[in-house]
Amino acid sequence: MQLKDIKSIGIVGAGTMGSGIAQMSAMAGYQTIIFDIQEDALDKAKTAVSKNLEKGIEKGKVSQEQKEACLQNISFISKLEELKADVIIEAVVEKLQVKIDIFSQLEKINSVKTILATNTSSIPITQIGAGLQNPERLVGMHFFNPAHIMKLVEVISGAATNPEIAETTKALAEKMGKKAVMAKDSPGFIVNRVARHFYVESLKIAEENVADFEQIDRLVESSGFKMGPFRLMDLIGVDTNFSVTKSMFESFYYDSKFRPSRIQQQKVDAGHHGRKSGKGFYDYN
């Protein structure tokens, strides 16, 4: 499938990432369908997209007409069997079998030409594709949070990915206004492999009581970073960040430099997932 053939895009998962990707898809003029089994997640996605667009209007980056057109381009569904599109982008939890199960269902109900893209930030595309009937149409399309603002998209080909599909996916990301970069299929790809130590080392400093969360964030931000590691983990989702770390730790054969933190494990166990839950390393209530 070529870029000119793409008219509709489906998004699996109505969380922060999924709703952000859907917004970019709809802004680019595509008929966009967001799927989630939870109705409340779909309601939150509607609200989030509308708020993001309002902020865009306030900053002079989005017009009222663009907002209305964007919202008209998005529909919301809670039945997976209704999710049929030219491109489907999965944005769910970082669990290999969950992703395989979703794509296995989607490839049965969609055209053989449909591009299946995963937003995984750490699981090798080849591993996901190995569980599918048609791994040649699976590609990695890794957006960064918040997806409606962050410009970078990593496009990753698995061992079986058709090169034409990877090129079309790169062109699609660019049409959404992103800077697309081709990456090799390796755990964490480029950015997450490098950035993992930003989080892991910061957590080690906290574990060793060298400094607390807020002190570490202030020091990092004063050195030029827009956001410190703990504020950023709260924004991304402490649970999501933890899942990525665990996945990479396992994928790199338990290399100690990727070892997850007990502090982060405790936060996840307590349900302190960051901004989305109202409490993470900081309190947002």
**Cα 227 from Cα 232, distance rounded (Å):** 6
Q: Is 36 annotated as a binding residue?
A: yes
Q: Is 178 annotated as a binding residue?
A: no
Q: Is 145 annotated as a binding residue?
A: yes
Q: Is 20 annotated as a binding residue?
A: no
For residue 146, cis peptide bond before it (omega within 30 degrees of 0): yes
Q: Is 247 annotated as a binding residue?
A: no
Q: Is 276 annotated as a binding residue?
A: yes
Q: Of the candidates 112, 173, 167, 102, which has an alpha carbon nearest to the alpha carbon of residue 141?
A: 173
Contact 77, 33 (CB under 8 A): yes
Which residues are annotated as catalytic? 121, 142, 154, 192
Q: Both ends of the chain: CA-CA distance in Å?
A: 46
Identity of residue 108: K
Q: Which H or E element spans position 161?
A: none
Q: Is 18 annotated as a binding residue?
A: yes
Q: Of the candidates 118, 125, 128, 248, which has an alpha carbon nearest to the alpha carbon of residue 193?
A: 248
Q: Is 171 annotated as a binding residue?
A: no
Identity of residue 228: G
Q: Is 73 annotated as a binding residue?
A: no
The binding site for NAD(+) comprises: 13-18, 36, 94, 99, 121, 145, 276
The binding site comprises: 13-18, 36, 94, 99, 121, 145, 276
